[in-house]
Copies of this chain bind each other. A is one copy, B any other.
Amino acid sequence: MSETLTHLDSNGNAHMIDVSDKDVTKRTATARSVVKMLPETLKKVIEGGLPKGDVLATVRIAGIQAAKKTPELIPLCHPLMLTKITVGINVLDDCRIEILCTCALSGKTGVEMEALTGASVAALTLYDMCKAVDKGITIVETSLLEKHGGKSGSWSVNNG
């Protein structure tokens, strides 16, 4: 009674890529998110005075914790054991703050999504801490800057 009558699967169905037979190599990736805000908001980020308190430390911890949660958030990402996560914060011109997240591990698959998730959630946290004083605050970019390791080798946004 249990023979299969109809497959409801096709090549288009969502699935994790099978990385069982890939080599374990050291892999790193760096992503960034850029947040644009009002001049007076930027001033409060740098000098203090936002209603939810110490913004830079909160942003950093949120980004580190989110990078670890990537396989819970991005459905087709593999569980990974990151050996390094850093979150850096820079002020750019034009009232923009850049959040850089770098991840590394020895593993069978790359860590681009981990770096991007870390940068994104750090940017959302910056947004959360500023939104009471700046309703138009916007994340104007989230992108990969560079990655290294694995079969496809190194790539960077500047020279592809």
What count of chain A residues pass the 8 Å CB interface test? 98
> How long is the Cα–Cα vector from A72 to B72 in the complex, in angstroms?
10
Contact A19 B83, CB 8 Å, known A61-B58, A68-B71, A140-B140: yes
B residues less than 8 Å from A30 (CB atoms):
none
Majority SS of interface residues in chain A? mixed
B residues less than 8 Å from A75 (CB atoms):
58, 61-62, 64-65, 125
B residues less than 8 Å from A76 (CB atoms):
52, 58, 64, 125, 128-129
Within 8 A of B (CB), among A101-160: 104-108, 112-113, 116-117, 120-121, 123-125, 127-129, 131, 135-136, 138-144, 155, 157, 160
Q: Across the interface, do B73 and A12 meet the contact criterion of CB distance under 8 Å?
A: no
Can you spell out 19 A-B residue pairs with CB atoms less than 8 angstroms apart?
A: A2-B92, A2-B96, A4-B90, A6-B90, A8-B90, A8-B91, A9-B90, A14-B60, A14-B61, A14-B64, A15-B60, A16-B82, A16-B85, A20-B104, A22-B83, A65-B72, A76-B128, A123-B142, A136-B143
Q: Which chain B residue lies CB-closest to A2?
A: B92
B residues less than 8 Å from A20 (CB atoms):
26, 83-84, 104-106
